[in-house]
Amino acid sequence: MTKNTLPVAVIGAGPVGLAAAAHLLERRETPIVFETGESISANVLQWQHVRMFSPWEFTVDSATVRMLEASGWQMPAAKDLPTGRDLVERYMRPFAALPAVRETIHLNARVVAVSRRNIDKMKDTGRDDAPFMLHVVYGDSREELIEARAVIDASGTWQKPNPLGSGGLPAIGEKRHADHIFYGIPDVLKADQARGDSSVNNQWCMSRFCDHFRPQNQIPRLSF
């Protein structure tokens, strides 16, 4: 297989990774998508309860929409604000289920290293012409070296949150107590009700909390 016939590797099957696959397919390229999680959009599902700031019309990708509409999919109301769950269930899963897309996605597949074929610290000649080599580790501990003519990193930063300290450095004791620190946005209606987290991002959730739990229009007493 020549370099020009090799697939284009996409790391991450989230919104950006799947959009990259859509654009590649439209250009008759062959994408190969690697997702660390057990499902597409594994990171988005961790904040599925959060409502997005942007409406559907600014959230979807043009190439993805074209492929979906060709299969009979209907765009949600353009001005509505989707939650993370909406984004996955109403947009990303239908796209990932398209036959042309489904066969390109590899789940439980972590890309642990990217290099160039036969290029190392001692040999650099021909680097620009050498295909990429991806070291992939699967959930069942299998390992594989995959060649690609290009690599698109759409893995995002969700799994690498900013530290609590200033200047990009961890706060004193942060690493030592990492198991007790929650960096995401808690779902106050479910498992994280007892955490005591408080932030501006939770105000919308708190209104839902009150509507959900108050008996006979009496607002419950909440402690944080």
**Last residue in a domain, options 153, 170, 195:** 153
For range 193-219, the mean pLDDT? 54
Contacts of 144 (CB under 8 A, 6+ apart): 135, 136, 138
The domain that holds 123 is classified in CATH as 3.50.50.60
Strand 132-138 versus strand 150-153 pairing type: unpaired
Same domain, 60 and 9: yes
Residue 53 sits at φ, ψ, to 5 deg, of -80, -25
Angle between helices 15-26 and 62-70 (to 10 degrees): 70
Same domain, 56 and 130: yes
Same domain, 96 and 189: no
Does 102 fall in a domain?
yes
State the Cα–Cα distance between residues 166 and 183, nearest whole angstrom.
Answer: 15
Same domain, 137 and 43: yes
Q: Which of 95, 1, 83, 5 is nearest to 50 (CA)?
A: 83
Give me the percent of the chain exceeding a pLDDT of 70. Answer: 83
Does 169 fall in a domain?
no
Q: 185: helix, coil or strand?
A: coil
The whole-number pLDDT of residue 222 equals: 42
Average pLDDT score, the chain = 87
> How would residue 127 be classed by pLDDT, with cut points 50, 70 and 90?
confident
State the Cα–Cα distance between residues 189 and 203, nearest whole angstrom.
Answer: 12
Same domain, 141 and 188: no
Same domain, 127 and 205: no
**Last residue in a domain, options 111, 136, 153:** 153
Same domain, 186 and 94: no
Is 221 or 63 the better-scoring residue by pLDDT? 63
**Last residue in a domain, options 105, 133, 153:** 153
Same domain, 190 and 94: no
Q: Would you say residue 220 has pLDDT above 50?
A: no
Count of domains forming the chain:
2
Does 91 fall in a domain?
yes
Global model pTM greater than 0.75: yes
Q: Which of 132, 142, 150, 83 is nearest to 109 (CA)?
A: 142
Does 174 fall in a domain?
no
The whole-number pLDDT of residue 211 equals: 62
Q: Would you say residue 86 has pLDDT above 80?
A: yes
Same domain, 42 and 138: yes
Same domain, 26 and 130: yes
Does 140 fall in a domain?
yes
Does 223 fall in a domain?
no
Does 164 fall in a domain?
no
Same domain, 204 and 144: no
Same domain, 127 and 196: no
pLDDT in tens, 135-182: 999 999 999 999 999 999 999 998 888 999 988 899 999 999 989 888
Does 122 fall in a domain?
yes
Domain of 37 in residue numbering reads as: 3-153
Is 187 or 204 the better-scoring residue by pLDDT? 187
